[in-house]
Amino acid sequence: MTKFMFIVGANSDIAKETVKYFAKDGFNFIFGVRDTKQLDDFVMDIQIKFRINCKVIEFDITKYETHETIWESIKNEVTDVMVAAGYLPQQKLAEKEWSICFNTINVNFTGAISILNLVANTFEERKKGCIIGISSVAGDRGRKDNYIYGSAKAGFTAYLSGLRNRLYKSNVHVITVKPGPVYTKMTSNLQLSNLFTVNPDKVAKDIYKAYKNKQDILYTPGYWYLIMGIFKLIPEFIYKKMSVK
């Protein structure tokens, strides 16, 4: 069977790097992006390099009213889905401007659920498929410097956990990806620690491995599993006094 992965938020740096690993494995792709022209060069390059088929469709994760029509038009081709769309605001602006806060919730949580509800119903009926959702370690515990983004990712993490529980008996695999800081367009305005920040290729490689190994939850790099485990153990009466970056 021809393998076709539908990628939501295909212009993200992590998504583009992940595509290269799956393309080596014979996957074809349907890329969902708001501006299809953004992917022209990338699509041309990977089609030639890997000899695969790619389609680019206009997909806005915040336009819920379009999701069902779009999914109905492609679902018969799609075997796997990855949601890589994300929006990381400046925390202070999100605290003051509701439009920024609202967009953060829509992109990272509500929009993702809108499309994945449709995907889940289709895959459940077929009794096969894989859903990959890119969440974040920021969703494991709230921090004053990014709790609006973190809370949206926390909701997405919980959603994926419930989806995995629901779809397990239907042979549908759900992977929750929790990257730490990554050097991408989305984080270009942040001062990131060189010690804990990685390039998108590292995350992409780990995602592909998680897919092949049928892993449920992926912390990438792996040391974030230990770091966040420690953070979650700190009592709230102590944690609230801490200044955690």
Give a yes or no: residue 141 inside a domain: yes
Q: Quote the pLDDT of residue 165.
A: 98
Residues 34 and 110: beta-carbon distance below 8 Å: no
Counting the structural domains of the chain, the total is 1
User: Could you tell me if residue 171 is inside a domain?
Assistant: yes
d(CA 142, CA 89): 15
Q: In percent, how much of the chain has pLDDT > 90?
A: 91
pLDDT over 70 for what percent of the chain? 96
> Residue 188 above 70 pLDDT?
no
pLDDT band with cut points at 50, 70 and 90 for residue 187:
confident
pLDDT tier for residue 245 given thresholds of 50, 70 and 90: low
Q: What average pLDDT does the structure give for the chain?
A: 95
Integer angstrom CA distances of residue 22 from 7, 26, 104, 129, 182:
12, 7, 28, 15, 20
Q: What is the DSSP letter of 33?
A: E
Q: Which amino acid is at 40?
A: D
Structural domain of 180? 4-239
Q: Which helix (DSSP H) or strand (DSSP E) does residue 58 occupy? A: strand 54-58
Residue 74 lies in a domain: yes
Evaluate if residue 182 carries a pLDDT over 70. yes
What mean pLDDT is predicted for residues 80-93? 95
How far apart, in whole angstroms, are the C-alpha atoms of residue 164 and residue 155?
A: 14
Model-level pTM? 0.95
Look at residue 233 in the predicted model and tell me its pLDDT: 96
Looking at residue 167, which CATH number applies to its domain?
3.40.50.720
Amino acid letter, residue 134: I
80: closest CA among 179, 1, 187, 140? 1
Comparing 128 with 191, the larger pLDDT belongs to: 128
Which structure tokens are listed for 2? 């021809």
The DSSP bridge pattern shows strands 130-134 and 80-83 to be: parallel
Is residue 245 in some structural domain? no
Is residue 244 situated within a structural domain? no
169 in a structural domain? yes
pLDDT digits (tens, 9 = 90+) for 217-233: 999 999 999 999 999 99
